[in-house]
Amino acid sequence: MANYKSIVAYDGTEFQGFQRQAAGLRTVQGVLELALREVGWQGSSLKAAGRTDAGVHARGQVIAYELTWRHDPEQLTQALNANLPSDVAVSETEVARDDFHPRFSAQSRRYSYRVLLQPIRDPLRERYAWRIWPEPELERLAAAAVCLIGSHDFVAFGRAPIPGGHTVRQVSQAEWRKEVEKLTFEIEANAFLYNMVRRLVAGMLEVGAGKVDLGDFIALLDNPDQRWEGRIAAPQGLCLEAVNYQEEPPS
């Protein structure tokens, strides 16, 4: 029996989020656990790096599970994929240290948020992006993003995973990139509050549209007495890109 680590990608559209829920609700954890059972897994609950919401995608979700497997990890990837539906796939599997936990061992997480800039609906692109119009001003978006970098109390933009938990997070990267008819926001932090990225994105887009002053947006940081009261960015623009771990020492 070993502790395995797998990287998982999924299209979140048809899922009620990552976390297993009541019977009848289709969740990513639920279909992953079904596939694990097919290869002999007998655990009660897999461990995961992050609990993405309904409709949120992932390219780099990380899970761990204890399993007796006689072949190499690459064959385990293939066996799991053979048992997974087309909207979930394992991209990589390896044996992890016994004490590896995808959430508690993580050093940082990286999310992307995609915005489609078009006045009219686009069925071929709105599955993985949030469409807004008119275009926000890129300079204002960039200015708002820069202010997020560093250590801040983000309580105004989300809630802690545990009631009353710590709400300070360390953001190492936050930037907007513009391409044709498209904006991508990338953010990396040691961890995130619940719904934090989608609230920050909505807030920055309001700043970019000139509807909220940059100063008012910044005043929400490190301010336990205020809340972002505006809308929350749509789930389908968000993607958990990667979870980073410290290099494991050779065992």
Name the phi and psi angles at 156, rounded to 5: -70, -15
Residue 61 or 195: the one with the smaller Cβ distance to a copy of itself is: 61
Q: What is the DSSP string of 117-178?
A: E-SS--TTTTTSSEEESSPPPHHHHHHHHHTT-EEEE-GGG-B-SSTT---EEEEEEEEEEE
Q: Is 89 in the site for a copy of itself (CB under 8 A)?
A: yes
Enumerate residues 29-58 that contact a copy of itself by CB under 8 A. 57
Q: Which residue has the tokens 């064959």?
A: 75
**Binding residues for a copy of itself, total number by CB under 8 A:** 23
Query: Which listed residue (2, 3, 9, 106) binds a copy of itself by CB under 8 A?
Result: 9
- Of 11, 53, 122, 153, catalytic: 53
Q: How far is the CB of 127 from a copy of itself (least distance, A)?
A: 7
Which helix (H) or strand (E) is 38 found in, with range? Answer: helix 28-38
Torsion of CA 130, 132, 136, 139, to 10 degrees: 10
Does residue 72 carry a catalytic annotation?
A: no
Pick the closest to residue 171 from 89, 99, 110, 214 (CA basis): 110
Q: Is 23 in the site for a copy of itself (CB under 8 A)?
A: no
Query: Which listed residue (4, 6, 11, 157) binds a copy of itself by CB under 8 A?
Result: 11
Enumerate residues 105-134 that contact a copy of itself by CB under 8 A. 120-124, 126-128
Task: Name the residues annotated as catalytic.
Answer: 53
- Given the rule CB under 8 A, which residues bind a copy of itself? 9-11, 57, 59, 77, 81, 84, 86-91, 120-124, 126-128, 239
